[in-house]
Chain A
Amino acid sequence: MVTAVKRKLGALLGVSVLAVGMAACSDTPPPASEDREPLGVNYSTGDPAADSSDEWTLGTTDTITAVDPAGAYDFGSWNLQYQMFQTLVSVPANGSEPEPDAASCAYDDPQTITCDLDEGLTFANGNELTSSDVKYSLERNIAINDPNGSAILLGSIIDDSNPDKPVLAKGAVETPDDTTVVFHLNKPDLTFLKVLSTATASIVDEEVYPANKELADTDEHSGSGPYVLAQYKDGVQATFELNENYAGPHPGIAPRVYVSYYKDDASLASDIKKGAIDIAWRSLSPTQQQGLADDGVAVLKGNGSEFRYWVWDMNEGAGTEAAVRQAVAQVLDRDQISANAYDGTVTPSYSIVPPGFGGQKDSFMDVYGDPDVDAATALLEDAGVETPVALKLGYPQEHYGPNAVDEATEIAEQLNDTGLFDVTTETGEWEQYQTDYKKDAYDLFMLGWYPDFLDADNYLSPFVVDGGFFANGYSNDEVNTLVDEELAETDEAARDEIIGQIQDIVAEDVPLIPSWNGANIAAVGEGMGGVQDTLDPTYIFRFWMITKS
Chain B
Amino acid sequence: MSSSRGSLPRYIAVRTLLVIPMMWVLLTMVFILLRVAPGDPVTAAAGGKLSADEIARRQAALGLDQPLFQQYLDYLGDVVRFRFGNAISDGTPVTTLIRDHGGATLTLTIGAFIFAVGVGVPLGRWAGRHRDTIIDAPIRLLGIVVYAAPVFWMGILLILLIGNLWPSWPTSGIASPQAIFEVPTHTHILLVDAAIDGTYFWDVLQHHLLPCFVLGLLLAGVIVRLVRINVIQTMQADYVEAARARGISERVVVRDHAFRNALVPVVTVIGLQVALTLSGAVLTENTFNWPGLGTDLVDYVIARDYVAVQGLVTFFALIVVIVSVVVDVINALIDPRVRY
A-B contacts, CB under 8 A, total? 140
Across-interface contacts of B247 in A (CB, < 8 A): none
Q: Which one of A57, A217, A262 contacts B289 once the chains associate, using CB atoms below 8 Å?
A: A262
How far apart are the CA atoms of A270 and B287 in the complex, in Å?
A: 12
Which among A116-124, A235-243, A344-352, A500-508 touches the partner chain?
Answer: A235-243
Distance in Å: Cβ of B232 to nearest Cβ of chain A: 30
Contact with B along A220-261 (1 / 0, CB 8 A): 000000000011011111010000000000000000001010
Interface flag for B134 (CB, 8 Å): no
The reply to whether B89 and A239 contact each other, CB–CB distance below 8 Å, is no
| CB atoms of B296 and A233 under 8 A apart | no
B163: CB under 8 A from chain A?
A: yes
Q: Is the CB of A147 within 8 A of B61?
A: yes
Q: Which residues of the other chain, B, contact A234 by a CB distance below 8 angstroms?
A: 90, 92, 97, 100-101
* Identity of the chain A residue whose Cβ is nearest the Cβ of B48 in the assembled complex: A447
* B176 nearest CB neighbor, chain A only: A276
Residues of A within 8 A of B49 (CB): 73, 462, 469
For B38, the chain A residues whose CB sits under 8 A away are 429, 431-432, 435
A236 to B180, CA, bound (A): 9
With both chains docked as a complex, state the minimum distance between the C-beta of A432 and any C-beta of chain B, in angstroms: 4
Question: Quick one: CB contact mask for B164-205 with A, threshold 8 Å, 1 for yes?
Answer: 110110111110111011000000000000000000000000
Q: Chain B: which residue is nearest A77 at the CB level?
A: B90
Is the pair B291, A65 in contact by a Cβ cutoff of 8 Å? no
A501, B291: Cα distance in complex, Å: 50
* Docked CA distance A204–B49 (Å): 26
**Docked complex Cα distance between A8 and B164 (Å):** 10
Are A239 and B52 also in contact (CB < 8 A) when A164-B61, A276-B170 are? no
B171 touches A270 (CB 8 A): yes
Residues of B within 8 A of A239 (CB): 177, 180-181
Contact A274 B163 (CB under 8 A): yes
Please give me the residue from chain A that is nearest to B42 by CB atom: A147
B43 lies within 8 A of chain A by Cβ: yes
Q: Is the CB of B167 within 8 A of A274?
A: yes
Indicate if the CB atoms of B172 and A267 lie closer than 8 Å: yes
In the complex with contacts A147-B42, A260-B177, A431-B37, A217-B92 CB distance below 8 A: yes
Q: Does B39 contact A (CB under 8 A)?
A: yes
Which residue of chain A is the closest to B90 with respect to CB atoms?
A: A65
B101 surroundings in chain A (CB, below 8 A):
234-235
> CA A277 – CA B173 in complex, angstroms?
12
**Residue numbers in B under 8 Å from A147 (CB-CB):** 42, 58, 61-62, 88
**Cβ-based interface call for B44 (8 A):** yes
Chain A contacts with B in 64-99, Cβ cutoff 8 A: 64-66, 71, 73-74
Knowing A270-B159, A276-B170, A469-B49, say if A434 contacts B296 (CB, 8 Å). Answer: no
* Distance, CA A8 to CA B162, complexed state (A): 11
Q: Which of B38-61 contact A (CB under 8 A)?
A: 38-40, 42-52, 54, 57-58, 60-61
Q: If A64-B90, A435-B38 touch, does A231 touch B181 (CB 8 Å cutoff)? A: yes
Q: Which of A94-123 contact B (CB under 8 A)?
A: none
Q: Give 5 pairs: A residue, B residue, CB < 8 Å, sorted on A.
A: A148-B89, A270-B159, A276-B170, A431-B38, A432-B38
Known pairs A263-B286, A274-B163, A434-B39; list 10 more (Cβ under 8 Å). A64-B90, A65-B90, A147-B61, A218-B96, A239-B181, A276-B176, A277-B177, A430-B47, A469-B49, A471-B51
Contacts from B to A (Cβ < 8 Å) = 37-40, 42-52, 54, 57-58, 60-62, 88-92, 96-97, 100-101, 156, 159, 161, 163-165, 167-168, 170-174, 176-178, 180-181, 286, 288-289, 291, 295-296, 299, 304
Binding site for B on A (CB under 8 A): 5, 8-9, 12, 57, 63-66, 71, 73-74, 145-148, 152, 163-164, 214, 216-218, 230-231, 233-237, 239, 258, 260, 262-264, 266-267, 270-271, 273-274, 276-277, 399, 429-432, 434-435, 438, 447-449, 462, 469, 471
